[in-house]
Amino acid sequence: MLNIQKSLAIFIILICAPAYANNISDPFQDVVAKYLAANPKPTMSEEARKYRVQAEFAVQQKRFSDAVELYGKALDIAPWWPEGHFQLALSLGENKEYRRALLEMRRYLMLAAAAPEARAAQDKIYQWESVAKPEAGKTFKDCPTCPEMVEIPAGSFDMGSNNGEPDEQPVHQVTIAKPFAIGKTEVTQEQWHALMGNDPSYFTGCGDTCPVEQISWNDTQEFIKKLNAKTGKQYRLPTEAEWEYACRAGNQQEYCGDDNQEKVSWNGFNSGSFFFKTPHPAATKQANAFGLYDMSGNVWEWVADYYHDNYNGAPTDGSAWLNGSMRVLRGGSWGYDANFSRAASRSKFGVNYRYYSYGFRLALTLP
């Protein structure tokens, strides 16, 4: 029997490994490594046990949304608890949250690949994979103060513009092979403060729902690192191709959602008086076809790529272009001419530079 379990463990690891092969920075890998190396295994605290008992009771009463919340609280305290990930996955499946269920069940298998339930866990994964399809425009949040994310389907588009600046050329087709999620809005001051405990924005009087600004590219990486540790996910900046693909949303309009900048963009023409312009609360202009706000205007948005002065040799698979010295910003801002808010417009700056019209939005690869 032991040999059968070992064989099954190897089989499970081989199947699940590809899902994590490109995600070696996943904080959960450290949880797995420490748990597997521990002897004896860690024991559950009384607080975690309380949430476990309450979650089990919620399942008995078929209150699966409550069970999801309670298992999540227990796992915040004891992230190494294999059964918790298994039961959380089942509760998520009952709620038809299949992609989250897939993530939790795969984590269970990473922690307990030789467990008797491993076969059933893998079969659940097979089932959920058949229905866990992305829905364009569908939104989700991984925590109450986390940015709201919008699902973006895979697809192809023509990136760049033949009528714009030299760095927007040549126009080239890019294929986004896998679905991903991107922030419904730019990261707000409230979301930044909830995670980082401060607000670096110049325009703090703009309000909690205004985009956080005075953010450098390196600052975005600190925020992402903390958010990933909090959620166990792998948030990141969008690649430049993902950003433009999400901005265009299946269209070839001049701006992100319309040919009329006034409908979709806070920019230097409409964001205040001649002497005093400001950013504005998120989502107060028209959304694009994917349900994304402020991709044109409000604040410039850092992306993952290094800047190049044209698209000759640019990746065509949606990945980031990673050799260079300065990082790319997209989308224009409240203080710039509307021309900079065009879908194809690009800018650049060094990774440590902060400015009161520089912000960001997040991306996330979907399971």
CA distance readout (Å), 44 to 31, 87, 114, 117: 15, 16, 21, 20
Predicted confidence at residue 1, as pLDDT, reads 39
Is 8 or 309 the better-scoring residue by pLDDT? 309
pLDDT of residue 100: 86
Q: Topology of 139-365 in CATH?
A: paralog of FGE (formylglycine-generating enzyme) (3.90.1580)
Q: For residue 75, what are the CA distances in angstroms to 63, 183, 236, 325?
A: 18, 25, 23, 40
CATH number given to 2-129? 1.25.40.10
User: Would you say residue 223 has pLDDT above 70?
Assistant: yes
Among positive and negative, which fits the CA dihedral 28, 33, 34, 38? positive
For 44-87, write each residue's pLDDT tens digit.
Answer: 999 999 999 999 999 999 999 999 999 999 999 999 999 999 99
User: Which pLDDT score is estimated for 133?
Assistant: 65
pLDDT tens readout for residues 172-219 = 999 999 999 999 999 999 999 999 999 999 999 999 999 999 999 999
- CATH 1.25.40.10 positions along the chain are 2-129
pLDDT at residue 135, as a whole number = 65
pLDDT at 26: 59
Cα 344 from Cα 151, distance rounded (Å): 22
Rg (CA), the chain: 22
Please name every residue paired with 255 in a beta bridge, in sequence order, or none if there are none. 342
Strand ranges across the sheet with 180-183: 139-140, 149-152, 180-183, 363-365, 235-236
pLDDT (0 to 100) of residue 193: 98
Q: State percent of the chain over pLDDT 70.
A: 92
**pTM attached to this predicted model:** 0.71
pLDDT band at 131; cut points 50, 70, 90: confident
Mean pLDDT of the chain: 91
Residues of the chain with CATH 3.90.1580.10: 139-365
Predicted pLDDT of residue 23? 34
Average pLDDT in the 158-163 region?
A: 95
Does the pLDDT value for residue 114 go beyond 90?
yes
